[in-house]
Amino acid sequence: MSNIPTPHISAGSSEIAETVLMPGDPLRAKYIADNFLKSVHCFNSVRNMLGFTGEYNGKSLSVMGGGMGMPSIGIYSYELFNFYGVKNIIRIGTAGAIDNTVKLRDIVIAMGACTDSNYARQYGLPGTFAPIASFDLLKSASDCANKLGLSSRVGNVLSTDIFYGDDPNILNRWAKMGVLAVEMEAAALYMNAARAGRSALAILTVSDCPLKGESLSSEQRQNSFTDMMKVALEIV
């Protein structure tokens, strides 16, 4: 029996491109499809997790929502890598800066993803796995951000399972280890890519600085997010 369509993606075998941009919000996926891609068709609407394939600069490209948290992006990225033959997934999402030198609207390109999740436990490894990005995608994104004159940082992020934490000092402890920002998906994406022998990268826009009590408005977020979309689009 064929693995596709999957329980979560209704696309046929040839409807998804080799590279997928993956914002958390499916409506952001639609925004990218509507504003940057040509000849677009929707390949998924299961659970309203919208996915689209179109053309960008003459090349086939897909964009699909990944949801919130590692369990969600873990499901979608697993199915894309293992059942649909996707080679590259680039997460484009938001993060909270915890390093004092990272500012609102900065782009953080996640070289590695620390985590408090047990996601790696499934592999039965005799130690701690270090989830890291594809070097080729990482270098291309960093070079592109510099070429576009964008304020960007490359480094470690924290992928956490907890949005409303009980320990008010936990982010300070991660910051002491040089972690730049906190988000909720990259570690699972990087582990799925590693296990499948594929490539992944997270490009993140700083939407708030929780340790400073700073955040962007909804309008400011929308305008700022376009920069990381441009970076992701230029490296595919």
pLDDT tens digits, residue range 110-145? 999 999 999 999 999 999 999 999 999 999 999 999
Q: 173 pLDDT exceeds 50?
A: yes
Please give the Cα distance from 104 to 161 (Å, whole number).
23
The stretch 173-177 carries a mean pLDDT of: 98
Q: How many helices (H) and strands (E) does the chain have?
A: 6, 10
User: What is the rounded end-to-end Cα distance, in angstroms, of the chain?
Assistant: 32
The answer to whether residue 187 is domain-embedded is yes
Considering Cα of 152, then 208, then 180, then 91, what sign does the dihedral take?
Answer: negative
- Residues 181-221: tens digit of each pLDDT: 999 999 999 999 999 999 999 999 999 999 999 999 877 77
| Least confident among 4-8, 55-59, 185-189, 216-220 | 216-220
Q: 42 pLDDT exceeds 80?
A: yes
Please give the Cα distance from 111 to 64 (Å, whole number).
22
Q: Is 167 a catalytic residue?
A: no
**Residue for token pair 């996640």:** 110
Q: 2 pLDDT exceeds 80?
A: no
The answer to whether residue 41 is domain-embedded is yes
- Residues 69-102: tens digit of each pLDDT: 999 999 999 999 999 999 999 999 999 999 999 9
CATH number at residue 69: 3.40.50.1580
Residue 139 structural domain: 19-235
The answer to whether residue 8 is domain-embedded is no
The answer to whether residue 104 is domain-embedded is yes
Tokens of 108: 């953080």
Percent with pLDDT over 90 in the chain = 94
The answer to whether residue 4 is domain-embedded is no
Q: 222 pLDDT exceeds 70?
A: no
Domain count, the chain: 1
Please give the Cα distance from 29 to 89 (Å, whole number).
13
Q: What's the mean pLDDT when you consider all of the chain?
A: 96
pTM (global) more than 0.85? yes
The answer to whether residue 77 is domain-embedded is yes
Contact between residue 98 and residue 31 where contact means Cβ atoms under 8 Å apart = no
Of the listed 99, 116, 166, 208, which one is catalytic? 208
The answer to whether residue 84 is domain-embedded is yes
The answer to whether residue 13 is domain-embedded is no
- Residue 209 has a pLDDT of 96
